[in-house]
Amino acid sequence: MGHAVVLRGDIDGRQIQLSLQPKKNEDGLEGRYFFFGGSPEILVAGEVEGDDLVMEESVNGRDVSGQWEGHRQGNVISGTWSSADGSITKPFSLQLP
């Protein structure tokens, strides 16, 4: 990914908007997302390798609060969101612009 993108989709049926952009001066992606209907923005950082997306998220900007593992097929990235300790998993789906 060479430029910023805004994706919309859902985590377990809850609608989200995710903004991603290349990291400055290093490999990988960074961005933020929020749930529609009111939620604080949650920071994300990760990388894309081929069609696979792996990201960690942080609610407070320091500690990992969740992980994303997804795969792109066509214009959709889908996969699993997991809590930091792995005890909760939820499906996610994102539509590429």
Could you read off the pLDDT of 71-96 as tens digits, one per residue?
999 999 999 999 999 999 999 999 99
Q: Please report, rounded to a whole number, the percentage of residues in the chain having pLDDT higher than 90.
A: 89
Q: How far is CA 70 from CA 24, 63, 79, in A?
A: 23, 21, 4
Q: What is the pLDDT of residues 6-15, one digit of tens each?
A: 999 999 999 9
Q: What is the pLDDT of residues 18-49, one digit of tens each?
A: 999 999 888 999 999 999 998 899 999 999 99
pTM over 0.75: yes
